[in-house]
Structure 1
Amino acid sequence: MTDTVSTATSTAAPTGAGNHRGLRVPRDPRVPVRAGSWALVLAVLVVLHLVAFRATDFRPEALATGAEGMWNFLAEAIPPDFSGEVVGVGVQGALTTLWIGLLGTTVSVPTALLLAVLGARTTSPNAFVYQLARGILSFFRAVPDIVFALIFVTAVGLGPFAGVLALICHNTGVMGKLWSEAMEDIDPGPEQALRTAGASRLQVVANATLPSVLPQLTGLLLYRFDVNVRSSLVLGLVGAGGIGLLINKSIKTFQFDEMLTYLIIILVVIVAVDLASAWIRKRLQ
């Protein structure tokens, strides 16, 4: 009896194994569709790049024909002018650029935080307020900071104050958008618990939303400070003060050795800001 069962089992096993080996995995019908979609996307990208190359007169060979002019420019800029007067003026301009970036970041915090709370789906009181806050953030974000600088230069005159105002406006839109998205991504558990306990909307935001998202908000704030220091350099080129104004002046007067000195000084400042921001972010993790 036992021998019969063993023989039957041993006979059936290869048959079952063979049946399993004979099964075929069905092909995914979506694979051809995905391949066709990727091919279409690639074709569209190629066409867009061809149009962009033609529209921007993208000609790499122009660099070769203009190489002599570039070498002449570098020959006049090297060595940089490290005289005491030029370095002193450059350091003062770099510090002004740093202060523009600092104030443009910190002064925009209250407005950006208010619009972020009103522009987040989880904290906005109703749909109308949400859309209004989002619209304001989109406007401030859509207008470049250099355009704001040109507007404020005509209003308050040349100088760093126009640059600070320009950065406040643009940074409010960018930082408010980033903060609102960070608020929407947090765990809703603490907020729901406070609402169940009868807390008001302001209490929920102050005691649940902001504490939960504070590390993200701080990290984004430091990131924006890095960006704003660089932006303040560009704003100086349109009269908003700082070392950018000195660079623009040295280029217009063909003092390229002074220009290179100013570039080296602002490079040192930006590297120092990067290192300080990275150190603070590491401590916040």
Structure 2
Amino acid sequence: MTTKTTPPLVAPAPVPRQDTTRRNIGWGIGLLALVAVHWVAVGSTDFYVERLVAGWSNIVSFFAEAVPPDLDWDTVIRPGLDGLLTTLWIGLLGTTFSVPFAIVLAMGAARTVTSNRLVYQACRSILSFLRAVPDIVFALILVTAVGLGPFAGVMALILHNTGVMGKLWAEAVEDTDQGPQTALRTAGASRLQQLAHATVPMSLPQITGLLLYRFDVNVRSSLVLGLVGAGGIGLLINRSIKTFQFDEMFTYIIMVLILVVLVDQFSAWLRRRL
């Protein structure tokens, strides 16, 4: 017994052939331009691997002087621990003291929060300036103004971190679901009530994660700030390099590595608990 097949009501349309020639030419031109830019960059920076090979003996001599590390308690370990704690405190204060400024500027720089274009552009401009100037430049200026020490490092991190964190928080606020805020606005809630009951609670997990990330980054940045006189263990590393005490320097680097790992583990643990 044979069954009759019902012909399709609509005949399948043939798939048009795509002309990929123009797209392939575009990709080829883009790739050639990328290679040309890198070629110019390598020539301008003298980035030649043979120079590293030629200086291999100097690298070996450096590590021969750095290993084993100097583990003297009175002259190396104890000052290193004090400097390490100072570095941690600089990173902590530079992060937490920038929170009030960053949150105010972030709300002003978020389109979904600020309707006044003048306020929006002003907050964006301030964040762009603070973000564009590196923290080490702020530290150099502040060391000249207030002298050597951790205070200059904390202030430098506050200024730079306000710009970076304010920008990240503004984007986090803009990316949140606007449904609850719209519902509160429709119900007659004020702008402050919308922020307190909708915008901030919705974006709080992302804001907290970015805050912990910036704390991790600022602890590492505070090490570099010490190299320009802003206190911390970076100051000890700079002194060891200038006096050619590479075994001391290696000890301080090991201590910094331990601190970075501990801060990273603490941040990961705290994120899991939030």
In the superposition, the TM-score normalised over structure 2's length comes to: 0.95
Counterpart amino acid of residue 64 in structure 1: V
Please give the alpha-carbon distance, in whole angstroms, between the structure 1 residues aligned to 2:26 and 2:217.
Answer: 36
Counterpart amino acid of residue 88 in structure 1: R
Give the CA deviation at 1:24. 4.1
How big is each residue's C-alpha offset from its partner over 1:46-74, in whole Å with a ceiling of 9 and x where there is no partner? Answer: 11100110110111101111111111111
Q: Which of the numbers 153, 157, 164 marks the counterpart of 2:143? A: 153
What are the equivalent positions in structure 2 for 1:43-58 lying under 5 Å apart? 43-58=32-47
- The answer to whether residue 80 in structure 2 is matched with residue 90 in structure 1 is yes
Give the CA deviation at 1:38. 2.2
Please give the alpha-carbon distance, in whole angstroms, between the structure 1 residues aligned to 2:272 and 2:216.
Answer: 15
Please give the alpha-carbon distance, in whole angstroms, between the structure 2 residues aligned to 1:34 and 1:175.
Answer: 39
Give the CA deviation at 1:33. 3.6
- Tell me how many residue pairs correspond in the alignment: 271
Please give the alpha-carbon distance, in whole angstroms, between the structure 2 residues aligned to 1:136 and 1:195.
Answer: 28
What are the equivalent positions in structure 2 for 1:1-285 lying under 5 Å apart? 9=4, 24-29=14-19, 31-85=20-74, 86-284=76-274
Cα RMSD over matched residues? 1.7
Please identify the structure whose Cα radius of gyration is greater: 1
5+ residue gaps in structure 1? none
Give the CA deviation at 1:198. 1.0
5+ residue gaps in structure 2? none
Q: Which runs of 4+ in 1 moved over 6 A?
A: none
How big is each residue's C-alpha offset from its partner over 1:162-209, in whole Å with a ceiling of 9 and x where there is no partner? Answer: 000000000000000000000000110110011111111111111110
Task: Indicate the structure with greater helix content.
Answer: 1
Give the CA deviation at 1:282. 1.5
Percent identical: 64
SS in 1 for 2:46: coil
In the superposition, the TM-score normalised over structure 1's length comes to: 0.91
Counterpart amino acid of residue 115 in structure 2: P
